[in-house]
Amino acid sequence: MVVVVVVASLALFALLAFGPFSIFYSNPLVTCRQAEQVPQLHFLASRRHRFPATKKGEESCLGDRPLEKDSNAITRGGNYFQSMSMASSSFSGSGNALMWFRKGLRIHDNPALECASRGVTGGGFLYPVFVIDPHYMEPDPRASSPGSSRAGLNRIRFLLESLKDLDLSLRKLGSRLLVMKGEPGEVLINCLKQWKVEKLCFEYDTDPYYQQLDMRVKDYASAARIEVFSPVSHTLFNPADIIQKNGGRPPVSYQSFLKLAGEPSWASSPLMTIFPSLPSVGDVGSSQIVEVPTLEELGYVDIEMELPPFRGGESEGLKRLREAISNEKWVATFEKPKGDPSAFLRPATTTLSPYLKFGCVSSRYFYQCIQDVYTRNKKHTSPPVSLLGQLLWRDFFYTVAFGTPNFDQMRGNKICKQIPWNDNDELLTAWREAKTGYPWIDAIMTQLHKWGWMHHLARHCVACFLTRGDLFVHWEKGRDVFERLLIDSDWAINSGNWMWLSCSSFFYQYNRIYSPISFGKKYDPNGNYIRHFLPILKDMPKEYIYEPWTAPLSVQTKAKCIIGKDYPKPMVSHDSASKDCKQKLAAAYELNKKLNGVVSEEDLKVLQRKLDATCDSVLNPVHSHSSSGAKRQRRS
Ligand SMILES: Cc1cc2nc3c(=O)[nH]c(=O)nc-3n(C[C@H](O)[C@H](O)[C@H](O)COP(=O)(O)OP(=O)(O)OC[C@H]3O[C@@H](n4cnc5c(N)ncnc54)[C@H](O)[C@@H]3O)c2cc1C
């Protein structure tokens, strides 16, 4: 009898302590969970270690966090809207809520904001917060161009403009953006404490930086019994769902991704929330709140830079989206890679990537707008080349990146070929600083510096040139340059595309190399793009604009551009450099095949020594003309 009573008491205690009606951790979101969602919760909890593997002996799917505390997981179970209504109806409604903006800098289709605002009733307050991380924003005098160590000035400006726009929109709704400076985790935890926050809402983020930061904040929230709501709304799909559908592994081909993904669950649900107003902001106590700073206030003074044609913010992003979508014929017939990479006055694509990167425009709303056009225009292009297909490429890279340990590096990355790239800083610097001597390449790199955006095929050309096409420099180095300078710089998409272009993953036809001369000429024979971005060449006659080193001295003099003095000679001969690169890749592929992908650093060093002995064009910049150049010079 005594045993029965003791067992019953223990069972009751366990139910109260850890069950759905836990007295220790009251999370009504969790109590509403459907039974079939539980495996996903296990899956999610493992993010503390990179990614769950399904094979025996590898990392467990079960993380070390108590599942009940990850209310983030509520949105993972397919139907997001179902989760939302459960979430909002379950809030007790008397406490303060904090909406933590990071990306997702918008009001429309913002489920985290919606949840935060609905959760506040009965005298509670809503604190919309953005934390400026000085490492990301403040000037680094040692950086190779204006900006911080992590971001070029164009992206910093875009972010400030986006914050300003968000603040204005919030003010129109009776709220405002509370901008603070400092280490984001620390600042946020302080706010949670000071403002007696009961609900913390923020958009879920798969980038490793946020995974780590969020884990820390969620740990604190969980200990302080603060409800956390962190929905997936940066991407069309939840990468974890796709990976789970694929047995725990990310799909590594676009087609298999499409098959797994299918139609998003929200595809025909209304996404635009209309907020008549937002709950007011409460007393901020001793917290140091600032207005959205200007560039000057961040320390960027005396910098003369041309303004790129991208103003940050949701208002501008939605305007651009409307403009793009209103041309229904263009949307329905959109086909990549058709389209002119040299078109800069009126780019051939939507130029929405910076707005998607910061979440000023919701990719889900963009998706629905395209679908609407397709409904009215039954004859339209399809993935991978269609406009919808482009958004799906975005989700594809997010999914692979989320499920691949060490995705952003060659070593330890299972989907990446091991290739003995060189670490030649001289070559890298010349490429980065637009001094390769190939006007097409240098014009694209100048556009990167000036605008922080280039057409997709232009990115192809410079990435191929740096890596497998000509210079054989490590793709990670080029990726880092893009990461800092692009306004749309995106952790998953950038590394994914660099692996693609360097034939390290996804695409393996290393014999297909972009010519730094003829590719651009095909689109822009007069070289208008080069003339715009490299004004030193603006008077070079059309027949020499792509190969100015072949122009006779009299022509160079007349064009006021002496090659080797005013503009560099080509740093390598494309013909021989590309031949060497193909040879090196063939050897590296052979090695990867022989060793079944398990290539050690020593194996690569041995191969590198062998290749360096036979292929030397890359490491010895030529001062002679390329064969086509030499031919042209003989003619002139
Ligand atoms: C080496 C290299 C690095 C790149 N780095 C980035 C990056 O850091 N951030 C980034 O957003 N894009 C990157 N891209 C992909 C692509 O070039 C840009 O997304 C595109 O050029 C942006 O212009 P848009 O908005 O006019 O594109 P659109 O053609 O109008 O496409 C609409 C949206 O689809 C998505 N998209 C288009 N192409 C791709 C693609 N290949 N992969 C993934 N998503 C795509 C983007 O979000 C884009 O805004 C990179 C491409 C290369 C070759």
Tens digit of each residue's pLDDT (9 = 90 or more) over 47-70: 222 222 222 222 222 222 222 222
β-strand 96-101 against 126-132: which pairing, if any? parallel
% of the chain surpassing 70 pLDDT: 82
54 in a known ligand binding site = no
What's the whole-number mean pLDDT along residues 550-564?
A: 98
Tell me: the pLDDT tens digits for 164-190?
999 999 999 999 999 999 999 999 999
Tell me: the pLDDT tens digits for 434-467?
999 999 999 999 999 999 999 999 999 999 999 9
Q: Return the ligand 1 atom nearest residue 353 CA.
A: 49
566 in a known ligand binding site = no
Among 320, 392, 488, the mutation site with the greatest number of ligand 1 atoms within 8 A of its Cβ is 488
At residue 36 the predicted structure's pLDDT band, cuts being 50, 70 and 90, is very low
At the topology level, CATH places domain 314-403 in 1.25.40
Q: Are 130 and 101 in contact (CB under 8 A)?
A: yes
Residue whose CA is at the smallest distance from ligand 1 atom 2: 497
At residue 567 the predicted structure's pLDDT band, cuts being 50, 70 and 90, is very high
pLDDT at 29: 24
pLDDT above 90 for 259: yes
What is the overall mean pLDDT for the chain? 84
Rounded Cα distance between 383 and 367, Å, is: 13
| Residue ranges matching CATH 3.40.50.620 in the chain | 2-261
486 in a known ligand binding site = no
446 in a known ligand binding site = no
Rounded Cα distance between 444 and 520, Å, is: 10
Q: Are 339 and 524 in contact (CB under 8 A)?
A: no
Residue whose CA is at the smallest distance from ligand 1 atom 4: 494
At residue 614 the predicted structure's pLDDT band, cuts being 50, 70 and 90, is confident
488 in a known ligand binding site = yes
β-strand 96-101 against 227-229: which pairing, if any? unpaired
Q: From ligand 1's centre to the CA of 107, what distance in Å?
A: 23
Residue whose CA is at the smallest distance from ligand 1 atom 20: 456
Q: From ligand 1's centre to the CA of 207, what distance in Å?
A: 17
Among 351, 356, 390, 498, the mutation site with the greatest number of ligand 1 atoms within 8 A of its Cβ is 390
Q: Return the ligand 1 atom nearest residue 396 CA.
A: 43
Tell me: the pLDDT tens digits for 498-547?
999 999 999 999 999 999 999 999 999 999 999 999 999 999 999 999 99
Tell me: the pLDDT tens digits for 379-434?
999 999 999 999 999 999 999 999 999 999 999 999 999 999 999 999 999 999 99
At residue 27 the predicted structure's pLDDT band, cuts being 50, 70 and 90, is very low
2-261 belongs to which CATH class?
Answer: alpha beta
Rounded Cα distance between 376 and 378, Å, is: 6
Rounded Cα distance between 19 and 31, Å, is: 9
Tell me: the pLDDT tens digits for 125-178?
999 999 999 889 999 999 999 999 999 999 999 999 999 999 999 999 999 999
| Ligand 1: lining residues by beta carbon, under 6 Å | 336, 349-353, 356-357, 390-391, 393-394, 397, 455-456, 459-460, 463, 482, 486, 488-490, 493-494, 497-498, 501
At residue 616 the predicted structure's pLDDT band, cuts being 50, 70 and 90, is low
Among 456, 473, 503, the mutation site with the greatest number of ligand 1 atoms within 8 A of its Cβ is 456
- The token pair at 415 is 């989907």
pLDDT at 316: 98
Q: From ligand 1's centre to the CA of 490, what distance in Å?
A: 9
490 in a known ligand binding site = yes
Q: From ligand 1's centre to the CA of 116, what distance in Å?
A: 31
pLDDT above 60 for 225: yes
pLDDT above 80 for 634: no
Rounded Cα distance between 316 and 352, Å, is: 10
pLDDT at 9: 44
At residue 119 the predicted structure's pLDDT band, cuts being 50, 70 and 90, is confident
| Residue ranges matching CATH 1.25.40.80 in the chain | 314-403
Give residue 312's identity as a one-letter amino acid code. Answer: G
| Residue ranges matching CATH 1.10.579.10 in the chain | 425-635
At the topology level, CATH places domain 425-635 in DNA Cyclobutane Dipyrimidine Photolyase, subunit A; domain 3 (1.10.579)
Rounded Cα distance between 471 and 564, Å, is: 19
What's the whole-number mean pLDDT along residues 15-34?
A: 27
Residue whose CA is at the smallest distance from ligand 1 atom 31: 390
Rounded Cα distance between 394 and 96, Å, is: 35
Q: Return the ligand 1 atom nearest residue 489 CA.
A: 8
- Specify the 3-state DSSP secondary structure of 613: helix
176 in a known ligand binding site = no
Tell me: the pLDDT tens digits for 282-293?
999 999 999 999
pLDDT at 617: 52
pLDDT at 121: 67
Residue whose CA is at the smallest distance from ligand 1 atom 15: 456
At residue 26 the predicted structure's pLDDT band, cuts being 50, 70 and 90, is very low
Q: From ligand 1's centre to the CA of 491, what distance in Å?
A: 12
In this structure, what is the dihedral angle of CA atoms 395, 397, 401, 403, given to the nearest 10 degrees?
A: 60
pLDDT at 323: 97
Residue whose CA is at the smallest distance from ligand 1 atom 32: 390
pLDDT above 60 for 2: no
pLDDT at 296: 95
Cα–Cα separations (whole angstroms), residue 20 to 29, 32, 87: 10, 9, 15
Q: From ligand 1's centre to the CA of 121, what distance in Å?
A: 41
382 in a known ligand binding site = no
Q: Are 596 and 417 in contact (CB under 8 A)?
A: no
What's the whole-number mean pLDDT along residues 546-561?
A: 98
pTM above 0.75, yes or no: yes
Rounded Cα distance between 215 and 184, Å, is: 13
Q: Apex CA 104: angle with CA 101 and CA 107, to 5°?
A: 90
